[in-house]
Each structure stands twice: as structure tokens, then as C-alpha cells.
Amino acid sequence: MSAAEIRVPIESDQDIVSARQAGRTLAIEFGLSGVDATFIATAISELARNILAYARKGEIMLRAIHGSGRRGILVVASDRGPGIRDIQQALRDGFSTSGSLGLGLPGVRRLMDEFEIESRPGRGTTVSVKKWKQ
Amino acid sequence: MEVPILKQGEFLIAMFQAALSDADLENLRRGLLQQVVRFRSRGVIVDVTAMDVMDSFASRTLREIAHMIRLRGAETVIVGIQPEVAFAMVQLGLTLEGVSTALDLEEGLAYLIEKSKIAD
């Protein structure tokens, strides 16, 4: 049982803005609070930024979801970039390989309720995060 | 999208919009520094009331703006960070260390006026 999906291609800095606006709008429409919508929009901004910084292009997929009587928002950021060699390291605070920008994965994890990452060197990275209505 | 920069006496006021791209932020950084030099401004207020997301790039750019303007001998104050934006920034681990902040435009102006009195 899932509502419509929104897919935002990420290829430029303007797409980061489009993706996070789409996320905020979907969250508000689905009844999440302003704080949650801001958390979701901020997480999308960082995930889209990682796509641009490391893979140059990719996609943000957004979907309103239901699960055990709750409603929430699923965000999937995917790319076919170089992948992350050491995921454990990438999940530690303060780690970034592209200067001070990008890969704020520990922060994204704190903003959201559920966090999953799959990455294969040379194949790409997929980060799936969920925020449930409080 | 261009960020309007208003001149108010010896201060400049930049009003951020909601949907600023990275390129817009970089243009603003350049524009503000040019105007601070041109008008020999004593202080800058950056009003982010309309900003709904403050991510790593936006906060880094704000820090850089404040530091560059300080090197010119002027002060910067960021005003209007929304409560939920502040909450998200803390969760994300972003700080605006070394950058002055105030509640709103009015308090920001009062802060700059006080600062420039001390400097005189």
C-alpha cells in the first residue's frame, strides 16, 4: 500500500533544491509536522549533495509509506558512482573525502528514524532513509 | 535567483529566499563582499528567516561570509534562523561557530549598532 512515487534526477545544484522542496511538500501533505518536514528536507539536501559530489549524477526517490499503523516518508538516494569503500568509516562523524562538504551520513542518520546504506565499489551507492510521523 | 542586498546607513542587509541553490549562495558571498568594500560598510545582517533548510553547504558559506567580512574590519550577524531549522542543524552536527546570531532583523541591527559604538 503506497502512494505515488516522486523521482527527482540529481545532476545539478538546482536539483538539490527541487528534491528537498518535493520532500517537504510530500511530508506536509502526508500529515507530518513542520519539524519532521524540515528534517526530511535537510536529509534530502545532504544526500543529493553526496550524489553530486561523489557520483555526479543520480536520483532521489520519495514515497509516502505506511507501516504498522504509522505513516511516514521514505527517501531513497541512489547513484552509480564509485561507491563507498569503507562504509563504517563513512558513518563516523567528521569523515569526508571531498573536503568539508558531503557525506554527512551520521548527521542524516540522526535526522531520520531509519537508515540503510548499500554500496559496492565501482557499482554505486543507495541510501534509504525513513521518517515516521511522531 | 538573486538575493537582494539593501543598504541601511553604514550597514548592509541581505535577505535570503527559501530556494537558494549553491550557485546563488556563492553569488551572494561575492556580492556581499564587493558591496562591503564599495560602501565601506561597518556591518552586515544576513536574514535567513525564509530559509527552510540550512545544510552543510549553506552553513559553510555563511561561516565563510562572516569570516571574510571580519577580515575587512566589519561585523556580520545572522538573524532569523527558524526553530526547526536550528533543530535540524544541531542533529546534522552543523555549527556556526565564530558567527554572531540574533533573533530577528531588529535585534541584529541593535547588535551591530552596539558593536560599532564600541569600535569608535
pTM (predicted TM-score):
0.91
At A3, is the secondary structure helix, strand, or coil?
strand
Q: Answer whether A102 sits within 8 Å of B54, measured CB to CB.
A: no
At A118, is the secondary structure helix, strand, or coil?
strand
At A93, is the secondary structure helix, strand, or coil?
coil
Q: How confident is the model at residue B117 (pLDDT cuts 50, 70, 90)?
A: confident
Is the model's pLDDT at A87 over the cut of 70? yes
What is the residue-averaged pLDDT of chain B?
A: 92
Residue to test with chain B: of A28, A42, A60, A131, most B Cβ within 10 A:
A42
Task: Tell me the nearest-neighbour CA distance from B114 into chain A, angstroms.
Answer: 34
Q: How confident is the model at residue A103 (pLDDT cuts 50, 70, 90)?
A: low
Question: What is the reported pLDDT for A67?
Answer: 86
Choose among A13, A14, A104: nearest Cβ to B92.
A104
ipTM of the complex: 0.91
Q: How confident is the model at residue A94 (pLDDT cuts 50, 70, 90)?
A: low
Is the model's pLDDT at B29 over the cut of 50? yes
Choose among A38, A102, A110: nearest Cβ to B53.
A38
Q: Specify whether the CB–CB gap between A59 and A65 falls below 8 A.
A: no
CA distance B112 to B110: 6
Is the model's pLDDT at A2 over the cut of 80? no
For chain B, which domains are there? 5-119 (3.30.750.24)
Question: What is the reported pLDDT for B97?
Answer: 86
Choose among A24, A35, A111: nearest Cβ to B92.
A111
Query: Residues of B with CB below 8 A from A34's CB?
Result: 84
Q: Nearest residue of B to residue A46 by CA position?
A: B55
CA distance A63 to A2: 7
Is the model's pLDDT at A59 over the cut of 80? yes
Query: Residues of B with CB below 8 A from A8's CB?
Result: none
Q: Answer whether A108 sits within 8 Å of B92, measured CB to CB.
A: yes
Other CB atoms within 10 Å distance of the CB of residue B3: 18
Q: Tell me which residue has cell 558591496.
A: B35
For chain A, which domains are there? 6-132 (3.30.565.10)
Q: Answer whether B54 sits within 8 Å of A42, measured CB to CB.
A: yes
Residue to test with chain A: of B21, B27, B52, B55, most A Cβ within 10 A:
B55
Q: Answer whether B21 sits within 8 Å of A13, measured CB to CB.
A: yes
Task: Tell me the nearest-neighbour CA distance from B118 into chain A, angstroms.
Answer: 35
B95/B108: higher pLDDT: B108
A90/B73: higher pLDDT: B73
Q: Specify whether the CB–CB gap between B30 and B60 falls below 8 A.
A: no
Question: What is the reported pLDDT for A3?
Answer: 57
Is the model's pLDDT at B61 over the cut of 90? yes
**pLDDT-above-90 percentage for chain A:** 77
Q: Answer whether A107 sits within 8 Å of B22, measured CB to CB.
A: no
CA distance B109 to A80: 48
* Alpha-carbon dihedral angle through residues B15, B54, A17, A52, given to the nearest 10 degrees: 130
Q: Specify whether the CB–CB gap between A89 and A39 falls below 8 A.
A: no
Q: How confident is the model at residue B10 (pLDDT cuts 50, 70, 90)?
A: very high
DSSP A52: I
Q: Nearest residue of A to residue B1 by CA position?
A: A14
Question: What is the reported pLDDT for A97?
Answer: 45
